[in-house]
Amino acid sequence: MLVVERAPVPVAAAGEVLVAVHAAAITFDELTWEETWTRDGVSRTPIIPSHEVSGVVAEIAAEVTDFRPGDYVYGLIGFVRDGAAADFVAVPAADLAVRPSTVSHAVAAALPLAGLTVRQALVDHAAVRPGEAVLVHGGPAE
């Protein structure tokens, strides 16, 4: 059962960024994955779901050199961590990228896992090479 509760603002550890969440996405199957609920066979509930995030860097921890407070970022949070269905989330800097200014927070939050899935399908399975064309039916209106 999902419930809304207050959660403390996380503290970014070395190499992490504290992100003020502007948009979060959840995959259709995320809540059925074992790693969402357990770690090494032990329950890790309560958890915060939603592992795709877009937001603004609120703070950076030691060892973070690629981002500054105020940067717009998006990324995919590891499934063994708490997700982005909160006001703030601590994310390893390596799991974030600068959000393109041409897309909204909502679009950026929906991109990471879908983008990785597309890359896997086209590169790993279809073996599409540079210079080849791919026909996409039903792309987004935005």
The number of C-alpha atoms within 13 Å of 24 and in the hemisphere containing its C-beta is 18
Higher pLDDT, 109 or 44: 109
Question: Cα–Cα distance between 13 and 94 in angstroms, integer?
Answer: 13
When mean pLDDT is compared across 36-40, 59-63, 74-78, 129-133, the lowest value belongs to 36-40
**pLDDT grade for 139, boundaries at 50, 70 and 90:** low
pTM higher than 0.75, yes or no?
yes
* Three-class DSSP category at 122: helix
Q: Report phi then psi at 118, rounded to 5.
A: -65, -45
Task: Write down the pLDDT at residue 141.
Answer: 65
* Three-class DSSP category at 53: strand
CATH class of 16-125: alpha beta
Task: Write down the pLDDT at residue 142.
Answer: 59
Beta bridge partners, 142, equal none
On whether the CB atoms of residues 92 and 16 are closer than 8 A, the answer is yes
Closest CA to 88 of 12, 2, 142, 3: 12
